[in-house]
Amino acid sequence: MKASNYILPTAKEDPNDAVVASHKLMMRAGLIRKSASGLYHYLPLGFRVLKKIENIIREEMDLSGALEFQLPILTPAEIWEESGRWERMGKEMFRIKDRHDVNYSLGPTHEESFTSLLKPIFKSYKDLPKNVYQIHTKFRDEIRPRFGVIRSREFIMKDAYSFHNDNVSLDETYEVMRKTYRKIFQRCGLKTIPVQADSGSMGGSGSEEFMVVSPIGEETLSLCGKCDYSGNVEKTPVIIEYKTSHKSTKFEKIFTENIFSIDKLSEFFKTKSENFIKAVYLKADNKFNVLLFIRGDREVNDVKLNNFLNTTELRPLSEKECTELELVPGYTGPKKEFHKDIKVFYDITLDPNESYIVGANETNHHNKDFVISRDVSTEIKYRDFTKSVEGDLCPNCKSSLTQEKGIEVGHIFKLGDKYTKAFELKITDKNGKLFTPTMGCYGIGVNRTMATVIEQCNDQKGIFWPISISPFEVSLVSITKEEKDRIAVENIYNYLKSQSIEIFWDDRDLGPGFKFKDSEIIGFPIRITIGKNYFEKKEISILNRKSGIEETFIFDSNETLRDKILKLRNDLYLEISG
Ligand SMILES: Nc1ncnc2c1ncn2[C@@H]1O[C@H](COP(=O)(O)OP(=O)(O)OP(=O)(O)O)[C@@H](O)[C@H]1O
Ligand SMILES: [Mg+2]
Ligand SMILES: [Zn+2]
């Protein structure tokens, strides 16, 4: 490809609405342009990267035995009503009506579409297992589209759905996908950490997220430096080593007028927040009243609590509701009996034998040296409703956990029979009896993968693409004054092209500084320079963009040049495959 035939709108300045490196560089390298909030045009260079990532995904999915489909983006409301998600998707789902006033959505995901498509096709257990996928556009009306294509409103996803006769078969495909995803991200040159994630009601090891460690990540990961444990903090089990006995003999009531926040109490009692018990009052799905006791320094983990209660929404109880339930807001502490309409839980962070300061269930009073096992009961079950924090014990090896921020690029998930049940997808077993198959689902954000590669692969000069997904593998920068020199370069260019080298020739009539800068910001992994030194003394340079190492040699034949490029190209591929 010749730059003179290309559209290459590179820019010197960062766009002012871009705050992260990938967004800035994608705009400056002329890979994308913004259309509207969360909507981006892909220009030819950017589109090539996207297609290369898609191709890697496609090759690996096909190799795993999955079958590629293409379903409409526009999806009828009735399938969403059947699964109950027409309501539940809320404002994130783009909705439209056709001329007959029939409702549709621009698909944010395709569980419903695939399940309803395959329902009349699958007949017997012999038809399964099957794993189906597409690489296609999704729409989500995100509350806060940001970071360029990392969180946009229109994006490309590889979404796959597998159907199984039983959990053993689901486990097998899930394992295959775990390996396939590792391979895909490795081939894209992207370092990801697979973390155990929340899997809703499925439990167990039913969900893995592929995370890119980055300070701009919206997820928090718990990582163990000793063993290879990694988990989303929402999911990481919290492990506390309890004392075996307690010291104090009885608790003491203290007057604490108007002091009830943990901060104020810490100040008043001159002790750390971990020595208090916090009472958290919640309404779950507008159904149950929940009173959760948790250590003063700890946060409630809504995901764990919702999973346990099988609910989806938690909100604080109002003061009025608290009064109706005979709770004393600000001064609630553990005791033997509460109102019958409250479910009472004790978090795992509470040590049954520790002495705590707790609400006395009486306005303006707290109890000091309160020991749950002595003062309430020894029978209490302590459950894990807490977010893991830095320094918590690793659930595998009990060494200390650290935390990092991460961006999710892929997600694999054991779905169970939620959708096959909703759509009454039933097939016959060996005895001709009908049963409901179970499912898995597997997603990768294609555009987000592209952006996170840039987050990992950039320096002050711009992007340095992993060779596997670079818009072109090689760039050729020529600096010529006379037509005969230009023709000489063109001959070399034509030769390299004929050798299947993917080459982008910057033949524009521009100064060397400008051309070098463009080539660096765009990030071609290999750059050949043919300029004055070539015409004077046959010198050609080959630059490894990432390492910055440049080799200069005397050109003796096209073949030598080709071999040097192929060698470097090969080394760069080896670097990725590790
Ligand atoms: N708004 C978006 N823009 C770009 N990619 C997205 C967006 N939402 C999701 N993705 C990509 O699609 C993949 C699968 O979608 P999934 O429904 O699991 O995402 P999600 O859990 O909603 O992600 P997030 O928590 O970031 O919103 C994600 O791993 C991510 O790579
Ligand atoms: Mg989302
Ligand atoms: Zn560990």
Q: What is the CATH number of the domain that holds 132?
A: 3.30.930.10
- Find out whether 127 and 426 touch, Cβ atoms under 8 Å: no
Per the domain annotation, does 543 fall within a domain?
yes
Q: What is the pLDDT of residue 243?
A: 85
Residues 212 and 67 in one domain: yes
Q: How far is the CA of 397 from the centre of ligand 3 (A)?
A: 4
Per the domain annotation, does 40 fall within a domain?
no
**Residue that is written with structure tokens 């993917």 in the block:** 502
Looking at the CA of 411, name the nearest ligand. Answer: 1
Domain limits for position 539: 465-577
Beta strands 342-347 and 288-295 are: parallel
Beta bridge partners of 442: 160, 412
Per the domain annotation, does 93 fall within a domain?
yes
Report the alpha-carbon distance of residue 55 to residue 65 in Å, rounded: 15
- Exposure pattern of 172-196 as b/e (b: 16+ CB <10 Å)? ebbebbbebbebbbbbbbbebbbbb
- Find out whether 112 and 85 touch, Cβ atoms under 8 Å: yes
Q: What is the mean pLDDT of residues 137-160?
A: 97
Mutational test site, ligand 1, from 92, 147, 155, max ligand atoms within 8 Å of CB: 155
The secondary structure of residue 351, as a DSSP letter, is -
Atom nearest to 449 CA in ligand 1: 31
Instruction: Evaluate if pTM is beyond 0.75.
Output: yes
- Ramachandran assignment for 436, one of left (phi > 0), alpha (psi -120 to 50 degrees), beta (any other): beta
Residues 451 and 472 in one domain: no
Q: What is the pLDDT of residue 197?
A: 82
Beta strands 539-544 and 526-530 are: antiparallel
Q: How many domains does the chain have?
A: 3
Which residues make Cβ contacts (< 8 Å) with residue 286, sequence separation at least 6? 313
Identity at 391, one-letter amino acid code: G
* Residue percentage of the chain with pLDDT more than 70: 99
Residues 449 and 471 in one domain: no
* Residue 234 in tokens: 């929402």
Report the alpha-carbon distance of residue 341 to residue 288 in Å, rounded: 8
Residues 116 and 215 in one domain: yes
Report the alpha-carbon distance of residue 480 to residue 433 in Å, rounded: 78
Alpha-helical segments (H) within 404-557: 418-422, 446-456, 483-498, 512-522, 532-537
CATH number of residue 280's parent domain: 3.90.960.10
Mean pLDDT rounded to a whole number for the chain: 95
Q: What is the pLDDT of residue 203?
A: 46
Q: How far is the CA of 108 from the centre of ligand 2 (A)?
A: 9
Per the domain annotation, does 268 fall within a domain?
yes
- Ramachandran assignment for 523, one of left (phi > 0), alpha (psi -120 to 50 degrees), beta (any other): left
Residues in the chain: 578
Radius of gyration, alpha carbons of the chain: 30
At 521-573, the pLDDT tens digits run 999 999 999 999 999 999 999 999 999 999 999 999 999 999 999 999 999 99
Q: Is 442 in the pocket of ligand 1 (CB under 6 A)?
A: no
* Residue 507 in tokens: 């033949």
Q: Is 445 in the pocket of ligand 1 (CB under 6 A)?
A: yes
Residues 445 and 470 in one domain: no
User: From atom 29 of ligand 1, which residue's Cα is the shortest distance away?
Assistant: 410
Report the alpha-carbon distance of residue 89 to residue 421 in Å, rounded: 19
Using the 3D structure, point to which of 349, 383, 417 is the last residue of a domain. Answer: 383
